[in-house]
Chain A
Amino acid sequence: MTGSLAASNLSVRYETPHGAVHALRHVDIEAHPGEVIGIVGESGCGKSTLVTALANLLPANARIDGSISYNGVDLAKLDAHHQRLLRGDEIALVGQDPMTAFNPVLTIGDQLVDFQHHRKDLGRAQKRARIAAMLGRVGIADAERRMNSYPHELSGGMRQRVAIAAALLTDPGLLIADEPTTALDVTMEAQIIHLLRELRRDYNGIIIVVSHHLGVIAELCDRVYVMYAGEVVEGGEVDAIFHDARHPYTQALLACDPARFHEKLDRLPTIPGSLPNLTQPPSGCVYAPRCDRAFAPCVSVAPPLVKLSVSHMARCHAVTP
């Protein structure tokens, strides 16, 4: 089953003893089958809250407003039982840390059998056959032997391949990869990027890649949402984001990446200032205090979402179509 995903006017706040933290505010995103969507931003931008909301894994103190519709069903309104049925069947998650993704006392094969619990029609032998085929597909040689290995016997890169295999075994319509290469070395990172790109050829669901690494997003994604302090500030085709960024934050973020400069710089570019306090989000633009193009309305009036082309939009007063 594959369907489209749309979050509209999605807000998430965490109730804490120090007041509510407005971690996500009025987020609109959409994703269609076959697309690879990138969500990029720095720590505290709300990208993890967004994906945990999409996977229905928010902690008990989280309050959701707005809707997350997947295949016509509003995920935010499902009861816990139906949410569980969806997770692991329709929605799969590949985490950041391949070291802790698996149970250390069970073999890879046993755990991957458990991942297929929703396939009541298959016997254990059939499930193991599917695992062997899937491990081969994610580039693990000698799959039969690897199924009898324990997680600690695999390297980090190999474990991340197994985690991707585990996610794909559930035939998900929505695959969320949260910082899939952050814990890996650069040569392994390149291999995992290549693997994800190869897999999408015969996978027709949605892939959402969350990363703070601009290079990974540029290598993998079709469309990108840029987040800052709990809001999506810009969204568009990957080429538009990297070559025609319009929001001052996106521009500043791109300008900070040392990978863009080949000549030695005496000073690395930075973004001065710090994130706003999300217990009292500013009434105007969240980026205004750090923005070099801010003018009077930015401080008091929330900026509109300016449509720049069919798919490119930015939330900024200073941007004109």
Chain B
Amino acid sequence: MSPLLAIDDLSVTFARSGLLSRLINPFPLPSFNVIDGVTLSLMPGETLGLVGESGSGKTTLARTILGLVRAAAGRITFEGRNVATPADFRAMRRRSAMMFQDPVASLSPRLRIGALLTEPQIIQGLPMPDRRAAAKALLALVGLPASFVDRFPHELSGGQARRVGVARALAMKPHLLLADEPTAGLDVSVQGDVLNLIGELKRELGFAAMIVTHNLAMIRHVSDRLAIMYLGRLVETGPTQDVFSAPLHPYTATLIQSEPIPDPRRRSQNPAVTGEIPSVFRRPSGCEFHTRCPIARDRCKTEAPAYRPMGTDRMVRCHFPLVTGGQEREAFSRASANHRGN
């Protein structure tokens, strides 16, 4: 089976200085890579979790895939076709949709829900004999009452706005759904609701999904595969269950260990990782995680590790991955032995 979406060596560059300083400074500062050499693919019907901390570039990557941010280098292939020109992206956006992070802010406050739900079809110039009926059908799809067509976004709760976001994303019957932090700001009793809805609709309509999040506890249950980002680069990819049970990259392992556990009998003794996330302005030399890695060695400081396959379905960017039974894994558990009792 060929992938629905393939990203090959994608990079995104942001200018370092603003317009004003570029006008007065004849030698502008060099630009920097916020996304650097990302290679990733998504199979039809698959759910991929794109995980990273703030500033890791996960949202930028999602926006670049849909052409909302221009890539500096690399290739995007969607349904077997190369996507490069604005016209290509427009065609791709007809078959893919994005759920933006803030559900209320992404809905225009002056439009009623009915108009918001049918806007995508109008923009794409699709025939729609009865706008109201189409909007009601979409509301029914996400389990909201038909009377919502006449409401304004501010009249909705966070969970309801999220459902409208789902309905709007699915209005075009996309083959790919990009969801940026679909549960941010939602209560724990409501976030399950939104994720269950996406899961059900996925089974019913068969689209593939990429969920961008920093919420590990949630993504563990809703994704088939995980991609972990650090400073704009992928550091690990693999099947979700494998990544959680045996993370290969020390960064993935520290992320999993940092998550607070809702059990007072298993309190952490020490933070799993110290120090701050470095800035993309000043990327550390060698492996970019060496400044915070508990098992970094001299080689990590000077030589950048390659992004290489491990086994059949996993990739890792580390000189000393935490292979099960290997001495690195032992060293890592020793370094964090004090971390959490059982």
Contact = CB atoms under 8 A, between A and B. Distances in A.
Contact of B217 (A155, A191, A257): A257
Interface string A253-265: 1101111111011
Interface in A161-186: 185-186
B241 interface: yes
Interface residues of A, number: 47
Main secondary structure of the interface of B (DSSP, over half): helix
Interface in A72-111: none
Chain A CB count within 10 A is highest, among B157, B244, B262, for B262
Interface in A152-211: 155-158, 185-191, 193-194
Nearest to A258: B217
Interface stretch (B145-153, B193-201, B295-303, B310-318): B193-201
A214 B53 contact: no
A18 interface: no
Contacts of B240: 264
B276 A158 contact: yes
Contacts of B192: 256, 258, 267-270
Contacts of B259: 186, 215, 259
A218 interface: yes
A42 interface: yes
Interface size bracket, B side? 35 or more
B276 A214 contact: no
Contacts of B267: 218-219
B278 to A, nearest CB: 10
A186 B262 contact: no
A242 interface: yes
A43 interface: yes
B277 A219 contact: no
Contacts of B272: 187, 190
Interface in B234-289: 240-241, 244, 254-255, 258-265, 267-268, 270-274, 276-277
B276 A215 contact: no
Contact of A190 (B191, B263, B271, B276): B271
Contacts of A261: 221
A194 B270 contact: yes
B217 A187 contact: no
Contacts of A266: 199
Interface in B177-197: 187-193, 195-196
Interface in A205-252: 212-219, 221, 238-239, 242-243, 252
Contacts of B31: none
Contact of B189 (A185, A187, A271): A271
Chain B CB count within 10 A is highest, among A158, A218, A253, for A218
A274 interface: yes
Contact of B264 (A190, A194, A238): A238
Contacts of B191: 268
Given A185-B277, A187-B255, A187-B271, A258 B218 contact: yes
B263 A186 contact: no
B113 to A, nearest CB: 18
Interface string B209-251: 0000010111011100000000000000000110010000000
A267 B258 contact: no
A268 B271 contact: no
Interface in A26-50: 42-43
A190 to B, nearest CB: 4
Given A42-B187, A253-B189, A270-B190, A265 B221 contact: yes
A191 B270 CA distance: 8
11 contacts: A156-B54, A185-B54, A187-B255, A190-B271, A190-B273, A218-B260, A252-B189, A253-B188, A258-B218, A259-B217, A259-B262
Given A190-B258, A219-B260, 5 more contacts: A186-B53, A190-B260, A219-B261, A259-B262, A268-B218
